[in-house]
């Protein structure tokens, strides 16, 4: 039966639609951008216990979880987000590759190309926001979490790592990726390594 099939992955057009819906949310709502939202969903899925949908979904239109103003419809926004969430959940459960929503940046006014970390930082920031909002993963005492967390957090400016003092020495030893492609591979690799610790029995839903 069609109802038993998992939701379709988002097409490029639907991803663009999701981005437009996020951009159209009015103040005082403060939504994440598309890349940060993708990282946030991964951070939600890496929690050792599944987070109830209504708890994490309210952070999509507003990072602080404020309710949309009266008259602001978020049904289609939520539908698209839930489909992306389901797609990521299946990939992480099967420990398979997924394509993080990471986008190339334009050169600055001087013509200088953006640094690799600048390209992937929104995604990592979204994941970090999820881990701060739902801190159960960070509370796991397992040395196997250190390397993948350090690789991800190495993209932050050192001054923004006040909450990662225990990882600072390891971060300083990490060689930065040579290309965006290598950095994206690291995002996926580290996600699956974290899942091995926090969600070893995660299974995809129908």
Tokens (6 digits) for 61: 């239109």
**Inter-axis angle of helices 75-93 and 12-23, to 10 degrees?**
130
pLDDT, tens digit (0-9, with 9 covering 90-100), for 100-130: 999 987 666 555 556 899 999 999 999 999 9
Q: Structurally, how many domains does the chain consist of?
A: 1
Residue 106 lies in a domain: no
pLDDT of residue 206: 44
Residue 107 lies in a domain: no
Residue 95 lies in a domain: yes
Residue 185 lies in a domain: yes
Nearest to 104 by CA among 186, 191, 187, 183: 183
| CATH at residue 150 | 1.20.120.740
pLDDT, tens digit (0-9, with 9 covering 90-100), for 52-92: 999 999 999 999 999 999 999 999 999 999 999 999 999 99
DSSP tag of 64: T
Residue 24 lies in a domain: yes
pLDDT of residue 202: 62
- Distance from the Cα of residue 77 to its chain's centroid: 17
Residue 167 lies in a domain: yes
Domain assignment of residue 138, given as a range? 9-100+112-198
Residue 1 lies in a domain: no
Residue 105 lies in a domain: no
Residue 159: CB atoms within 10 A of its CB come to: 6
């Amino acid at each position: 039966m069609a109802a038993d099939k998992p939701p379709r992955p988002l097409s490029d057009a639907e991803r663009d639609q999701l981005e437009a819906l996020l951009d159209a949310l009015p103040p005082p709502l403060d939504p994440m951008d598309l890349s940060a939202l993708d990282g946030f969903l991964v951070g939600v899925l890496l929690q050792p216990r599944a987070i109830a949908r209504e708890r994490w979904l309210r952070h999509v239109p507003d990072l602080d979880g404020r309710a949309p103003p009266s008259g602001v419809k978020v049904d289609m926004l939520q539908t698209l987000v839930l489909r992306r969430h389901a797609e990521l959940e299946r990939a992480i459960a099967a420990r398979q590759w997924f394509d993080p929503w990471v986008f190339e940046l334009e050169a600055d006014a001087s013509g200088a190309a953006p640094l690799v970390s600048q390209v992937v930082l929104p995604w990592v920031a979204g994941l970090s926001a999820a881990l701060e909002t739902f801190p159960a993963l960070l509370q796991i005492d397992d040395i196997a979490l250190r390397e993948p967390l350090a690789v991800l957090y190495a993209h932050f400016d050192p001054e923004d790592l006040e909450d990662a003092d225990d990882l600072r020495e390891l971060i300083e030893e990490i060689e930065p990726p040579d290309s965006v492609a290598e950095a994206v591979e690291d995002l996926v690799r580290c996600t699956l390594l974290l899942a091995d610790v926090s969600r070893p029995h995660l299974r995809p839903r129908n």
